[in-house]
């Protein structure tokens, strides 16, 4: 099963931007993927006015990644403002998966975070839209 680690923008895109939660529901329900979510990312998603459309699905079809103070690990590399965003959770979860040898796909839309991952991990990184990058340890 492929592990998928998206930032909050991924979820919000479907429930707020394009207003098509059915596509997100379909992905989260797929048996081929296991979505991993950090606490900060979840908090950011909850701010959406349409969160109720996917709340039960998020609770039932994502694996919570429990780790204490993600931002502390990345303080030397990011500004204090960046640490407050969910992207740092994607990076920490990706880092843990990478070093455990677990294949995963990370979805990031922030430039600073993307550049950091691009420098620190030696795997595939590709642009999937103007504002979104995907990182994968899978051989695509």
Q: For the chain, what is the domain count?
A: 1
pLDDT score of 103: 81
Q: How far are the Cα atoms of 17, 83, 90, 131 from residue 127, in angstroms, in the given order?
A: 19, 23, 17, 8
Is residue 89 predicted with pLDDT exceeding 70? yes
Q: How far are the Cα atoms of 7, 85, 138 from residue 42, in angstroms, in the given order?
A: 9, 11, 25
The CATH number of the domain where 31 resides is what?
A: 3.40.50
- Find the domain containing 22 and state its range: 2-136
pLDDT score of 78: 64
Is residue 100 predicted with pLDDT exceeding 50? yes
> What is the C-alpha to C-alpha distance for residues 10 and 5, in angstroms, rounded to an integer?
10
Assessment of whether the complete model's pTM goes beyond 0.85: no
Model confidence at 35, pLDDT cuts 50, 70, 90, reads very high
């Amino acid at each position: 099963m492929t592990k998928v680690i998206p930032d909050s923008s991924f979820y919000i895109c479907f429930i707020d931007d394009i207003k098509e939660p059915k596509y997100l529901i379909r992905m989260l329900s797929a048996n081929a993927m296991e979505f991993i979510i950090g606490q900060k990312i979840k908090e950011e998603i909850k701010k959406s006015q349409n969160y109720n459309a996917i709340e039960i699905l998020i609770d039932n079809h994502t694996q919570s990644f429990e780790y204490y103070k993600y931002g502390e690990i990345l303080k030397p590399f990011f500004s204090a403002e960046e640490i407050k965003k969910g992207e740092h959770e994607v990076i920490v979860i990706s880092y843990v998966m990478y070093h455990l040898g677990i294949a995963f796909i990370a979805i990031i839309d922030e430039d600073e975070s993307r550049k950091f991952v691009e420098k620190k991990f030696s795997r595939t990184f590709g642009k999937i839209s103007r504002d979104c990058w995907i990182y994968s340890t899978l051989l695509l």
